[in-house]
A and B are shown apart, each in its own frame.
Chain A
Amino acid sequence: DIQMTQSPSSLSASVGDRVTITCRASQGISDYVAWFQQRPGKAPKSLIYAASSLHSGVPSKFSGSGSGTDFTLTISSLQPEDFATYYCQQYNHYPYTFGQGTKLEVK
């Protein structure tokens, strides 16, 4: 299975900040990476697919980049509703696998 390693595991930031989360795949996966946001007690919400494409309705404050093994999710101008857990996922090889998550907390 392809391992997806996210860093950091947790991150403290303030409203208005810009943050970046990284995800590294254990082998090359082209750009078959998605990012999800999960608020407590809720289902994951899709943000980005194909490493950098925003799902419909996702604000442009979210952006993704990368190819091969290294990927990033950047969130600009943090708002209270952005404090949540974020997951990366690879869908280049079965079984699909997710990163362990990055918890974004209020500083």
Chain B
Amino acid sequence: QVQLQESGPGLVKPSQTLSLTCTVSGDSISSGGYYWSWIRQHPGKGLEYIGYIYYSGTTYYNPSLRSRVTMSVDTSKNQFSLRLSSVTAADTAVYYCAREAAGSSFGSWGQGTLVTVSS
């Protein structure tokens, strides 16, 4: 059974870059067939789709964040990462990584990590 685990700083200063990594176990990112995704949830609010990366490096970013988002994948470590630049307090949220299978949406999620943007 696949497991995903987010890691990264819980506190980021305004204007800096938020960096998170999702470590996958129980499945190989390089085996293909899945879209490795990031989703966030502002405190007490709903869910916002950030985008995905495929094992080949193909990406999709939500246009609302596209100018600030970069995703990467490291198949040797079975990890994928999110970088969000020029953060503000509005980027304070719980960030989830998830695995999407074509046709069946997000079947597996990480536990989530709270990132607070504050000086």
Residues of chain A having any CB pair with chain B under 8 Å: 32, 34, 36, 42-46, 49-50, 53, 55, 87, 89, 91, 94-101
Contacts and interface: CB of A to CB of B under 8 A. Distances in A.
A94 B37 CA distance: 13
A74 B47 CA distance: 21
Contacts, number: 55
Contact of A99 (B46, B60, B107): B46
Interface of B: 46-49, 51, 60, 62-64, 96, 100, 103-112
B63 A95 contact: yes
A57 to B, nearest CB: 10
A98 B105 contact: no
Majority-rule SS of A interface residues: loop
Given A95-B63, A95-B64, A44 B107 contact: no
Nearest to B64: A95
B96 A43 contact: yes
Contact of B46 (A43, A53, A55, A98): A98
Given A43-B96, A43-B112, A95 B49 contact: yes
